[in-house]
Copies of this chain bind each other. A is one copy, B any other.
């Protein structure tokens, strides 16, 4: 074998590995969705490897690699004698309407909030400006760890304009969405919210609080909510556990 034969062989091997990894990702993406949306709910096993090989027209190695990807994400587990089971399900959070968490997840279980901090603080200029309050005016700060059926789902940092925030502190924040309470206190519905969604790695302290591995992917939602009259009153920074939430909605094409 000449040196260039050897090099070509090594390259072909690298290409084959790359191709298999690409094919595995393809298979994994389709299976992920089925797992996440509960297609294998209630202990139904995933199809056997041989069936997945047929279904995806993929090699057995590719199917195994795809299952490894999903196992690394904590979505499936192999149970000897039973097969491969779905062990996670993401809760759907709508991108259609502005809803509080308990409103959104009503059909999935009970949301309970551990109120970690509340109080009046002097916010930074950035926070004052976004809430359209004069610099130096105190705002109410609330920090909550939110659980669904007992499992940590999100860590929410909330800044609320003082006139609405102070009455809010007298309410039962452990069992109610802030949105619902705010509407009652303000005597008017909420209107629009500007939202930004990002994926971030969990810092060690957030990870510990959310009971997630250090560096776990979090879905971070920043949301500035306005009353129906247009006044911005509620600025939130929400870290969702990436493995427990999926945001869904509909986008419409309007010509650029």
Residues of B within 8 A of A222 (CB): 29, 33
Copies in the complex: 2
Q: Name the residue in A73, A251, A256 with the highest tally of chain B Cβ atoms < 10 Å from its Cβ.
A: A251
Q: For A13, what are the chain B residues with a Cβ–Cβ distance below 8 Å?
A: none
Q: Determine whether A116 belongs to the interface, using a CB cutoff of 8 Å to chain B.
A: yes
Please give the number of chain A residues whose Cβ is less than 8 angstroms from any Cβ of chain B in the complex: 77
Q: Which B residues lie within 8 Å of A95 (CB)? A: 95, 195, 197, 249, 251
- Is B217's CB under 8 angstroms from A251's CB? no
SS class, residues of chain A in contact with chain B: mixed
**Judging by beta carbons under 8 Å apart, are B254 and A97 in contact?**
yes
User: Which residues of B lie under 8 Å from residue A118 when comparing CB positions?
Assistant: none
Q: Is the CB of B247 within 8 A of A197?
A: yes
Known: A124-B55, A143-B22. Is A247-B196 also a contact (CB below 8 A)? yes
Q: Are B30 and A127 in contact (CB under 8 A)?
A: yes
Q: Please list the residues of chain A having a beta carbon within 8 angstroms of any beta carbon in chain B.
A: 18, 21-22, 24-27, 29-30, 33-34, 36, 55-57, 69, 72-73, 90, 95-99, 103, 116-117, 121-122, 124-127, 141, 143, 157, 179, 189-201, 203, 205-206, 215-220, 222-223, 228, 237, 240, 242, 245-256
